[in-house]
Structure 1
Amino acid sequence: LMQKNTYENGMVSGRLTRWHPNGNKELEEEYENNLRNGLAVYYNQEGQKIREVNYKHDTLHGSYVEFFASGHIKIEGEYKNGLFHGAWKWYDEDGVVLGEGNFERGNGTQTAWRRDGTLLREITYQNNQKHGVERHYNEEEKVEKEIINRKNEPRETEN
């Protein structure tokens, strides 16, 4: 058995569970009328949880969390109608915050740091895509590289 789900009026409704070929669980998703709706949990081939997300009418909506194999949180944030929304955080395996972002319907900025706390990069987003100036910093926190992102066609400049 590789997948188990229920149908209602010819459409997937309720929980869908799928297994990796080795028998470990791959995913559990909630469906309503053939659309993902509610919590979805994804697992790697070893059976460890790697991601928990929420859907509304087959679109990311609500909390989003990725995990390291250790179980520690790697990324956490929120989606609203498929777009980054609210506070986001990126962590290393020890739980140290390496990045933060703040978004309003897919628009916002992300800042990342090295483990020692020095600034690594700053990225602006528009409609969930990198847009505008993306700055990368050296260990002295001086701009090392700038990338101009427009319509998913980055142009790099060196300093």
Structure 2
Amino acid sequence: MKEKATYENGKIVSKVITYHENGKVQSETEYKNGLKNGAFKQFYTSGQPEITGNYRYNRQIGTWKYFDESGKIIKNTVYRNGIAVAE
């Protein structure tokens, strides 16, 4: 797996992009001061979205959507401070 990120003082300070072996994007994760903070997207090897959601201070927040390989939403989970509170 390949990864693209920007570091300052040993901490990740940018969007981290990882790639599948076929060269397509595997995931995109926003970071701030070394912590996951912002949008998260994970993709199948086909390039279709697999998971979308948000982080705040390394914890999952809000509604996370899970997709099948055709792009259909198969599950929504609501997180509060990293804990699933509703599906």
Pairwise same-fold verdict (TM > 0.5): yes
2:76 maps to amino acid: E
Deviations 1:99-147 (A, max 9, x none): xxxxxxxxxxxxxxxxxxxxxxxxxxxxxxxxxxxxxxxxxxxxxxxxx
Letter in 1 for 2:42: Y
Name which structure has the greater RCO, CA cutoff 8 Å, separation 6+: 2
Does 1:26 find its partner at 2:26? yes
1:24, CA displacement in angstroms? 1.0
Q: Which residue matches 1:57?
A: 57
Which residue in 1 is equivalent to 2:14? Answer: 14
Q: Aligned partners of 1:77, 1:23: CA distance in 2, in Å?
A: 29
SS in 1 for 2:46: coil
CA apart distance, 1:77: 2.4
Q: Distance in 2 between matches of 1:69 and 1:3?
A: 23
Coordinate RMSD, CA, aligned:
1.5
1:31 and 1:47 map into 2 onto residues whose CA distance is: 22
Matching residue's letter, 1:40 = F
TM-score where L is the length of structure 2: 0.89
AA partner of residue 61 (structure 2): H
Among the aligned pairs, what percent are the same residue? 32
| Residue number in structure 2 paired with 1:70 | 70
Where in structure 2 are the equivalents of 1:95-110 lying within 5 Å? Answer: none
Shift of 1:80: 0.1
Unaligned ranges ≥5, structure 1: 89-159
One-letter amino acid matched to 1:59: R
Distance 1:56 1:65 in 2: 16
Shift of 1:27: 0.3
Instruction: Look up the match of 1:46.
Output: 46
Counterpart code for 1:33: N
2:62 match: secondary structure: strand
Q: Which runs of 4+ in 1 moved over 3 A?
A: none
Count of residue pairs brought into register by the alignment: 87
